[in-house]
Structure 1
Amino acid sequence: MAATAQVSAQVTDAMIAKDAATPENVLTWGMGTQGQRHSDLNDVNSKTISKLVPVWSMSFGGEKQRGQESQPLVHNGKMFVTASYSRIFAVDSKTGKKLWKYEHRLPEGIMPCCDVINRGAALYDNLVIFGTLDAQLVALDQDTGKVVWREKIDDYSAGYSYSAAPLIAEGLLLTGVSGGEFGVIGRVEARDPKTGKMVWTRPVVEGHMGYKDGKENGITGTTNASWPGETWKTGGAATWLGGTYDPKTGLAYFGTGNPGPWNSHVRQGDNLYSASTVAIDVKSGQIKWHYQTTPNDGWDYDGVNEFITFDMGGKRMGAKADRNGFFYVIDAENGKLQNAFPFVKKVTWATGVDLKTGRPNFDPANRPGDPTAAGGDGTKGKSVFSAPGFLGGKNQMPMAYSPKTGLFYVPSNEWGMEIWNEPITYKKGAAYLGAGFTIKPLNDDYIGAMRAVDPKTGKIVWEVKNNAPLWGGVLTAGDLVFWGTPEGYLQAADAKTGKIVWKFQTGSGIVAPPITWKEGGEQYISVVSGWGGAVPLWGGEVAKRVNFLEQGGSVWTFKLAK
C-alpha cells in the first residue's frame, strides 16, 4: 500500500496536461501550461466572498525581504513556493507549517537586472525544480528538500541569471535565460527533468547554432539577415519570463527580450528574433514560427510577455499584452496576426499595427537619436519622450483569461520616459545599454490600471485604477478576478463589471500572482506578499511615488469562514 501511495504522489505528464482541469491542485506556473490562470472553482464567489478570511500566513524569515514575485504550486498537501535570493520552501498547505527549506548558496558578483526575485518552480515525478540567480537549475526531493541534481545554465560572470519558473511539456523541462541587459544570447533549452541532462537547445538570435542530443541542429535564422556585422554575437533577446505550452499545437511559446544594446542605431535591421514570440516544436527544438512585436527595438520593449492560448471563432489563438503597449491576437498554429490594438492610453513610438503585414507603423520622430549623427558632439543623441516607458504597458506580471467571460484581465501601467542614446561597446559582464532614461508618470491620480479587454473587439470593458504601478499577476476563479497591489491589498472584483467586492491588507506590496485550489472539500486562495522588483530599482520619478512602501516576505492563505 505504501508503494501505491508513493506512486500516486508523483507528478506525471498526464497530470500536468490536465492541470487547468483539475482545480484541486496547482502543478504549473500559469495554473495550466496554456497560462490562462483560470479556475472553475466557485465556492468563493460574489455572494460568499464576504466570508473570505485568512487561515494562515508564513514568513520567509531572515533579512532577505526583497521583491517576492513567486507563484506557489500545490500538490499532495504541500505548497512549494520560491522566494528572493534563490530560496524555496515546502509548506503544509492547510496549516502553513514549514516542512523544509532550501537556500541556494549564491556567489559574489551575481548580476540580476531587476531585483533578486524568483517567479516559481516546476513539479515533475517526485521533484520540485527551480532556477537560481547564478544561472543554475536545482532539483529537490519534494518530501525531504534534498538536492537530487544540479545543472549549470551558463556563466553568471557574463551576466547570465535565471528567475523564471521552468515549464514541463511532453516530458521535457523547458527553460530560458535571463540577463538581456548584459549582451547575453537568449535561448530556450530542453532537459530531462529527472536527471537534468540536456536534450536540445535553441538560440533565439540569428546566426547561433542549435543542438539536439549533442549534435548540431541547424543555425537559428540566417546569419546577418537582420543583424549587421558581428552585432548578433551580443544580441540579447533573453527569454527571461519563461514559456507556455499548448498540447493541441504541440508548440511551446517563449517571449524574447530586447536586443543588445538599447542603442538601435548600431544594429540597423529587424534584429530577429528579439522582441518576439517564438513558437518552438517541443520534439524537434526547431522554431516553427515567430511574430516580432517591435522590430529594431529602440525603447527596451522586451517581447517576453506570456503568450496565452485560447479558443476564439473555432480557432486556437494566442494573446499577448506586450510591453510596447499593444495587445496582439495571433493564430497559435501559424503565427498570423489576427488583431492588434493598444491596451494603454498613450503610445507614441508607433501609430498602430498594420494588420496585413503585422508590422508596426513607426513614428520616426519618436526614435531616440543617433549619438554619432551630424551636428552632435558624439556623446548623446537626440532625446525623445516615449510612451509607454521602458518598464512597459505590461511587464512581468501575468494576465489571466476567463473562458466564462471571454475577457483577458490585464495589469497595465500608464507611464512614459525621456530616453536618449549614447555610444557603447560590449564588455563581458558589464551593462550593455548605450542609453539613458528617466521614467515619468503620465497622470496625477493613477499609474496602474486593471483592465478587462475583449480580444475580439479591442474594447476595454472595464478598468480599476491604482495609484501605484501594478506589478502583480491575476487570477480568475468563478465569477471573480483577484489581483494584488503595491499598497499591500489582495482584492477581488466582479469579472463582468469590475466592481471591487473584497480586499485584504497583507502588510507589504504584492508583486506576485494569486492562485486557488481545493483541499478537504474547501477552496483556498493564496498569494505571496513582498514589495520589490524592477519599479523601486529603475522607476525614476515613479520610484519616488512609491518609496513609502515597505518590503516583506510572506505567503497568505484564505478560505471561507464556516
Structure 2
Amino acid sequence: MKTHLIKLSVLAALAGPLAVHAAGVTDAMIEAGTKSTGDVLTWGMGQQGQRFSPLTQINTKTVRRLTPAWSFSFGGEKQRGQESQPLIYNGRMFVTASYSRIYALDVKTGAKLWKYEHRLPENIMPCCDVINRGAALYDNLVIFATLDAQLVALDQETGEVVWKEKIDDYAAGYSNTAAPLIAKGLLLTGVSGGEFGIVGRVEARNPRTGQLVWSRPTVEGHMGYKYDKDGNPIPNGVSGTTNKTWPGELWKTGGAATWLGGTYDPKTGLAYFGTGNPAPWNSHLRPGDNLYSSSTVAIDVETGQIKWHYQTTPHDGWDFDGVNEFVTFDMDGKRYGGKADRNGFFYVIDANNGKLQNAFPFVKKITWASSIDLKTGRPNYIEEGRPGDPTKGETGKKGKSVFSAPSFLGGKNQMPMAYSPKSKLFYVPANEWGMEIWNEPISYKKGAAYLGAGFTIKALNEDYIGALRAIDPKSGKIVWEAKNNAPLWGGVMTTAGDLVFYGTPEGYLKALDAKTGKELWKFQTGSGVVAPPITWQDGDTQYVAVVSGWGGAVPLWGGDVARRVNFLEQGGSVWVFKLSSL
C-alpha cells in the first residue's frame, strides 16, 4: 500500500526550535518507564502498558486527604468524549482533547502555555466519536495523531509545528485516535477505520522527521514495505499467505484496524499491536479465519516483520475485535502478556513466542463460545450463537437474529487495564451487556460504512453494567469486583501504595484498596470520566491527574444502554490532585 507523504521543509524546521533547546526525551528515559517517578513519558505509564506506579505517598491511609490542586477546562463548544491520558515532562503537562486539539499546561499551576488546534475537514467520518487518546514525547517534540489521519509533531516549548505527515486518505475511511508508541528510537502508529473497509497496518517512522521506515499490513495478502532515505518504498514481504484464510477478494478491504496503538517490551524486543474486526461484520461473506484480524501481532521493531500472532476470535462475526492492549509481565520466571479481549475471555500468552498459557472468562455471560481450548488456542464455538446468513433468510435481506453476549462494545473496550507487580493482579474495567445482532447484505463502497449487520445493545442486569475486577492471571479467579451502574469506559491505574484509581461515567474519580476492592475515596469531576488516570511526583509531592468529559462509543452506539445513561453531561477538563496538609 502506497503511503502519501506531505513534503515539508523538515531540515529548516529542525534547524530552528530543536537546535536551540537542551537535550529532550531520550530512548533510555522512555525505556526506564515508571522507575523515573518524576514524569510520565508514554501512554500506558511505561512502554509495557502496566499503568503501575511505585509511588507510595498517596496510599490506603492517606488517600482520604486527596484534594484538587488545580483544574483546566479545554473550553469552547468542542466537548464530546475525552479519552486522553496526559504526559508529564520538564514542568509541563501535554494533554490532547476532542477534535484533535493538544495543550501544554504548567504542571504546578495548570496555566495554559500553548494550544494547538488541528484544522479538520468537514466531511471526516470517525467511527466512534471525535476523541483522541494521547501523544508521544521524543527529543524536544510532542507528537500526536489526528482524526483526518495525519501525524503532527510540535515543539514542546512553543507549540510550533516541526513536521506534519499524512498517514492515509480520510475520504477512504482512515482516521487515527491512538497515542503513538516510541520503541527503539522509532515512532510506531496504527490506523483506525475498520468499519469503512480500510486495511489495517502498523507503521514505523523517524520521530524527528516523520520519515517512514517500514510499514506492516495486518490483513493477510498485502505487501509490507521498508523505505529508503528518499522515502521510496521497497517491498518487504507479504503479510501471511494470500487467500489462505481469506478466500475470494474481501481481503482487499479486510479491516483489522490497529486503532488502539501498541505496547513494547524491551525484554523481548517486540512491539505488540491488537488488530480489529475483519470487514464486513457479516462473516458469511468471508469464510476462513481471516488473519490477522481480531488478533495480537508481535512485530520485530527493527524489521517490521510479524514474529508471531495469536487470534482471539477467528472468523469474527460479532465485531469482537482484538485490539485491546497486550500488557507484559513476569510470572513463574517467564515473560507473559495479559489481554482482556472484547470477546469476554482473558488470555495469558507467552510474550516471546505467542503460545497460549491460560484463557478464562472475565465477564459472567458469554454466548458465542463455551471456552478456549488451551492446546489449540482456538475457541470452542457455540454455533447457534453466530448471527445467520441473510442469503438463507426468507427475504434475503436479513439473516436470523441472535442474542449475543458480550455485546460488540465488549467485555472490555478501549479503556486500558492495569497490572500490579506488587499484588500480581490485573485490574480490569469490565462490562456486562449483550446485543441483538443480525446480518444484512453489503458491498464495499469507498468511504461508506461497511458493516453488513444491525444490532441493539441491551443491559444484562438491572443493578449494574460496569464492574472493576481484580483478576489473578495464574488461577483465572476474580479476586474482587466493584460494580457500577453505568458502563465503565475509562482506564485504570494502580500504585505501590496499594491503590487502584479509575473513573466512572457518573463523573467520579475513585480510589479503591488494591487488595480488597474497598472504596476509600472519590471525587466528582463534573462530567463522565472515560480516560485513564496517571500519577507522578514533583519534589516531595505526589500528584494524580485524570481527564473528564463524557462521550466515546457508548452514547453513539449504545442503544438501550445509551438511553439508560442519557442524563450524563458532556465536558472537557483535566483535574490534578494532591494530599492536603494534615
TM-score grouping bracket, smaller chain normalisation: over 0.9
- Kindly indicate whether the alpha-carbon contact (under 8 Å) linking 2:466 and 2:484 is maintained by their aligned counterparts in 1: yes
Structure 2 residue 142 is the aligned partner of structure 1 residue 124: no
1:7 Cα offset (Å): 6.5
Rounded to whole Å, the distance in 1 between the matches of 2:391 and 2:300 is 42
Q: Find the counterpart in structure 1 of residue 11 from structure 2.
A: none
What is aligned with 1:401? 419
Whether the 8 Å CA contact 1:236–1:257 is kept in 2: the answer is: yes
Q: Distance in 1 between matches of 2:108 and 2:310?
A: 43
In the comparison of the two structures, how many residue pairs are matched? Answer: 559
Q: Secondary structure at the match of 1:457?
A: coil
* Distance (Å, rounded) in 2 between the aligned partners of 1:4 and 1:357: 52
Name 2:509's counterpart in structure 1.
490
Give the corresponding residue for 2:116.
102
Equivalent residue in structure 1 for 2:266, among 247, 253, 258:
247
SS in 2 for 1:50: helix
Tell me the alpha carbon deviations over residues 449-494 of structure 1, each in whole angstroms, 9 at most, x when there is no partner: 0000000000000000000000000000121000000000000000
Q: Determine which of 436, 442, 449 is the counterpart of 1:431.
A: 449
Structure 2 equivalent of residue 527 of structure 1: 546
Match of 1:355 in 2: 374
Structure 1 unaligned regions, length at least 5: none
Specify the code of the residue in structure 2 equivalent to 1:78: R
C-alpha separation in 1, matches of 2:359 and 2:54: 29
**What is the alpha-carbon distance in structure 2 between the residues aligned to residue 532 and residue 108 of structure 1?**
20
Matched, 1:49 2:68: no
Residue in 1 that maps onto 2:409:
391
Question: 1:9, 1:557 → 2: CA distance?
Answer: 27
Letter in 2 for 1:438: T
8 Å contact from structure 1 (residues 9, 76) kept in 2: no
The CA distance in 1 between the partners of 2:540 and 2:166, in whole Å, is: 41
Alpha-carbon separation, structure 1, partners of 2:74 and 2:152: 19
Structure 1 residue 282 corresponds to structure 2 residue 301: yes
Deviation by residue 1:307-364 (Cα, 9 ceiling, x = unmatched): 0000001000000000000000000000000000000000000000000000000001
Q: Secondary structure at 1:18's aligned position in 2?
A: helix
1:203 maps to 217
List, as ranges, runs of 4+ consecutive aligned residues in structure 1 with deviation greater than 2 Å: 3-9
Is 2:326 aligned against 1:307? yes
The alignment partner of 1:190 has SS state of strand
Determine what percentage of the aligned residue pairs are the same residue.
Answer: 79
The question of 1:470 aligning with 2:484 is answered no
Partner of 1:20: helix, strand, or coil?
helix
Residue of structure 2 equivalent to 1:37: 51
**TM-score (structure 2 length as normaliser):** 0.95
Q: Does the alignment pair 1:67 with 2:119?
A: no
RMSD, aligned α-carbons: 1.2
User: Are 2:359 and 1:340 equivalent residues in the alignment?
Assistant: yes
Check if 1:366 corresponds to 2:388: no
Q: 201, 214, 236: which is aligned to 1:217?
A: 236
For residues 427-466 of structure 1, what are the alpha-carbon distances to aligned partners after superposition, in whole Å with 9 as ceiling and x for unaligned? 0000000000000000000000000000000000000000
Partner SS for 2:28:
helix
Which ranges in structure 2 are unaligned for 5 or more consecutive residues?
1-16, 228-232
1:144-201 C-alpha deviation (Å, 9 max, x unpaired): 0000000000000000000000000000000000000000000000000000000000
Contact 1:420–1:436 (CA under 8 A) maintained in structure 2: yes
Q: CA deviation at 1:521?
A: 1.5
Structure 1's 365 and 138: CA in aligned 2 closer, same or farther, altered over 3 A? same
Q: Distance in 2 between matches of 1:208 and 1:376?
A: 37
- Per the alignment, do residues 53 and 261 of structure 1 end up closer, same or farther by CA in structure 2, a change over 3 Å counting? same
Residue 309 of structure 2 corresponds to residue 295 of structure 1: no
Please tell me the residue identity of whatever aligns with 2:444: Y
Are the counterparts in 1 of residues 18 and 155 from structure 2 also a CA contact under 8 Å?
Answer: no
Secondary structure of the residue aligned to 1:419 is: strand
Partner amino acid for 1:216?
P
The structural deviation recorded for 1:6 is 7.5
Q: Partners in 2 of 1:9 and 1:531 — Cα distance?
A: 37
**Using the alignment, how far apart are the partners of 1:507 and 1:477 within structure 2?**
25
**Shift of residue 23, structure 1, vs aligned partner:** 1.3
Matched, 1:143 2:171: no
Q: TM-score, normalised by structure 1?
A: 0.99
Task: Evaluate the alpha carbon distance shift between residue 4 and residue 352 of structure 1 in structure 2; reply closer, same or farther with a 3 A threshold.
Answer: closer
Query: Equivalent residue for 2:8?
Result: none
Partners of 1:111 and 1:118 lie apart in 2 by: 14
Q: Would the aligned equivalents of 1:235 and 1:259 in 2 still touch at CA under 8 Å? A: yes
The answer as to whether partners of 1:118 and 1:164 remain within 8 angstroms in 2 is yes
Equivalent residue of 2:390, what SS? coil
Structure 1: distance between partners of 2:46 and 2:366: 32
Matched, 1:504 2:523: yes
Contact 1:68 1:512 in 2 (8 A): yes
- Tell me the SS of whatever aligns to 2:441: coil
Deviation at 1:51, TM superposition (A): 1.0
